[in-house]
Amino acid sequence: MRLLSRGAGALLGLAVLATPVLAAESLTVRLSPGPRLVGTRADRSGVGKVTATLDGGKLTISGTYEGLLGTPTGAHLFAGSAPGVRGPKVADLTVSPATSGNVSGSATLNSKQRAAFAKGGVYVEIDSADAPDGDLWGWLWAPAE
């Protein structure tokens, strides 16, 4: 019995050592003016950057922006099927009520949203009254190495 117990303990120890430990994936991306029709394009619409960290299924966003033409009306996280492809809203984010400020928040991604993140399809969008479909956008897409 004691031999069996030692053998089982050794196997359990090997199983623990063989279990992969997944590190959090983090990247920083630029926020830039969203696409608009030529007639509605502003000369300057702000800039910013966000850092996104995916730890397991939890995606955490933290960033800053400046120079918006108007006060933000909201900020959101979306998941499209690929970079540049719009998709459904994943979560609302917190945004400062000023033309310069902070954006932050987190969301637990489901398997489809994690797959979109892996392909660069997840993006941050900051809206304003002048640009309700996105004043600043940032696709969470890691650069090729």
Average pLDDT over residues 122-126: 95
Alpha helices in 2-130 (DSSP H): 2-18, 111-118
> CA separation (Å) from 136 to 60, 67, 80, 109, 142?
18, 10, 16, 22, 18
Nearest in space to 40 (alpha carbons), one of 66, 70, 72: 70
Q: Is the pLDDT of residue 135 over 80?
A: yes
Residue 52 CA to residue 90 CA, distance in Å, equals 14
Q: How confident is the model at residue 45 (pLDDT cuts 50, 70, 90)?
A: confident
Q: For the segment 91-112, what is each residue's pLDDT rounded down to a tens digit?
A: 999 999 999 999 999 999 999 9
Q: Which CATH class is domain 23-139?
A: mainly beta
Supply the pLDDT for residue 143: 62
Note the pLDDT tens digit of each residue in 12-39.
Answer: 333 333 333 446 789 999 999 866 545 5
Q: Where are the domains of the chain?
A: 23-139
Q: Tell me, what's the pLDDT at 27? A: 93
Element (DSSP H or E) covering residue 134 = strand 131-139
- The whole-number average pLDDT for the span 73-81 is 95
